[in-house]
Amino acid sequence: MCEQLFEPAEKEEREKLEIRIIEALNSCPGHSLPPQKSFVGVGIYALYYFGEFDLYAEFVKKNAKDRLGIPIYVGKANLKGARTARRSSTRQTPLFNRMKEHAESIESVRNLDLDDFRCKYLVLDQIWVTLGEQVLIRKFVPLWNTVIEGFGIHHPGKGRAGQQRSQWDTLHPGRRWVESLNLPINELGEEEIRRKVREHLSRLD
């Protein structure tokens, strides 16, 4: 019995839960990035882009600003080291802090404008956070999660010889910690990364 795969919920129950998560996020209002006021809790979030970066023109057309339909990136924020922490058990602000960190990254690059981004987020019980992120990635297949790697990475520290710039940092240069490490351009090169993006966007509904 213990060696067999244990499913704590039936397939239909899981599907209903996933639908509820997506519907809950879609029903949330859009906010500036980061939101204007700090708030307590862990959870999931989605970032939406409406700017004039040339490569994303087709993406913006399909993502009307008044409905925030297709996120360019989704992510999660947990409590560090926490296993079963609940929303009511902490006064920490990891979800807000994570979106603020993203805002600082975007502000530092040379070809994106922070004013062209909006966000939505859901504060969740810790137990649902990882599942929630997985559900959003499967549903929306966000560009910066699935095609251009590197947006969500943290400063890797020193002493990593041979490390390259991520694809995201190659396409969007200027992030401070990347510049300070003087990392070489990604082996794919900007043109190949752009080709991957165009191919992905051509498949959007």
Residue-range domain boundaries for the chain: 11-202
Is the Cβ–Cβ distance between 117 and 165 less than 8 Å? no
Higher pLDDT, 129 or 5: 129
Q: Which fold has domain 11-202?
A: GIY-YIG endonuclease (3.40.1440)
Give the model confidence (pLDDT) of 163-176 as tens digits.
889 999 999 999 98
Q: What is the pTM of this model?
A: 0.88
CA 154/CA 152 separation, integer angstroms:
7
pLDDT tens figures, 78-119: 987 655 444 444 688 999 999 999 999 999 999 999 999 999
* CB burial of residue 173 (10 Å; 0-12, 13-18, 19+): middle
What confidence score (pLDDT) does residue 161 get?
46
User: Mean of the per-residue pLDDT values for the chain?
Assistant: 86
